[in-house]
Amino acid sequence: MIVDYHMHLRGPANGREGPVELTVEAVERFVEQAAARGVDEIAFTEHMYYFNELADFPEHPYQRGKVAHDLDTYCDAVVEAKRRGLPVKLGLEVDWLPGRLDELAEQLTPYPWDFLLGSVHIVDGEAVDMDPGLWGLLTVEAVWSRYLAALRELAKSRLVDVLAHPDLPKIFGKRPGPGALASFNEQAATAIASAGTVIEVSTAGLRKPVGELYPSSDLLTRCRALGVPATLASDAHVSQDVGRDFDAAVEHLRWAGYETVTVFDGRVGRQEPLG
Ligand SMILES: [Zn+2]
Ligand SMILES: [Zn+2]
């Protein structure tokens, strides 16, 4: 089985990110692309900061500027597509929010999620994945170590089922020395394993300055050794990116020793043979 468990529901646009389009027709375009790339099932994981119902949570100006959509409309579009028999799952990309994870968990409870995807994008009020963002405030070593602290807290909270792009700070190719990086990987893998969280192998990094899959071979191997399950992810913001570069992602998983991929239903995960 091949899944793509990370994407954003957008309408068509000429090669660039299209406008948010929360309709079954938009879902169908993503499903068609998945079928063309041999992906059996896809999951939508829209950013939580797009939704009016969750407008109280985002603090970063970029995220606050995106609040404009109805969470019920999003859920209804995906649930309706599912009802029509399309191979889709309902998820949400949830941001790490220090001190507010319990409150957020409560707000998200009424919705029919298949899984929640957790991301650390913002640390100390600045973005890890923007330039200069957090990089303008802290040394490279400090960015990685602050990110690790946030990732560990997010995993430990058990608010989310899967961690997105686990080594996101490599996005611009800035990394600490080999010793510090090995220590990051060891601590991240241990925290993820003890929380019982799943990680994603994401091809999005191939389209970023770093030009690599998330996570690195070293982090993925450590996760595998500790029994951490995995999903596959494109982080598509246009339907054309669904399942993009998945040969590389599947090979990455196999190389690290993975023989299964995680499939979610109603926030319960199970393992299916990979491929
Ligand atoms: Zn993300
Ligand atoms: Zn995403």
Ligand nearest 166 Cα, by number? 1
CA 154–ligand 1 middle distance (angstroms): 14
Q: In the prediction, which pLDDT does 10 show?
A: 96
Closest ligand to Cα 92 = 2
Nearest alpha-carbon partner for 158 in 197, 199, 200, 198: 197
Using the mean position of ligand 1's atoms as its centre, give its distance from the Cα of residue 165 in Å: 7
What's the gap in Å between 78 CA and the centre of ligand 2? 17
Give the HSE-up count for residue 115: Cα atoms under 13 Å, Cβ half-sphere: 26
How far is the centre of ligand 2, averaged over its atoms, from the C-alpha of 184 (Å)? 22
Give residue 55's pLDDT: 97
Nearest ligand (C-alpha, residue 45):
2
Closest ligand, as measured to the CA of 8: 2
pLDDT of residue 13: 83
- Give 202 Cα–ligand 2 centroid separation in angstroms: 10
266 DSSP β-pair partners? none
pLDDT of residue 16: 80
Q: How far is the CA of 167 from the centre of ligand 2 (A)?
A: 14
Q: How far is the CA of 87 from the centre of ligand 1 (A)?
A: 22
DSSP element (H, E) containing 110: none
pLDDT at 63: 97
C-alpha 22/C-alpha 16 separation (Å) is: 18
- 3-class DSSP state of 38: coil
Determine what percent of the chain is predicted with pLDDT higher than 70: 100
Q: How far is the CA of 96 from the centre of ligand 2 (A)?
A: 13
Amino acid letter for position 244: R
C-alpha distance from residue 33 to each of 4, 45, 143, 168, 250 (Å): 11, 17, 36, 26, 18
Stretch 166-170: mean pLDDT, rounded? Answer: 98
pLDDT tens for 96-144 read: 999 999 999 999 999 999 999 999 999 999 999 999 999 999 999 999 9
| Distance (Å) from CA 236 to ligand 2 centroid | 7
Mean pLDDT of 189-193: 98
Q: What is the pLDDT of residues 5-50, one digit of tens each?
A: 999 999 998 768 889 999 999 999 999 999 999 999 999 999 999 9
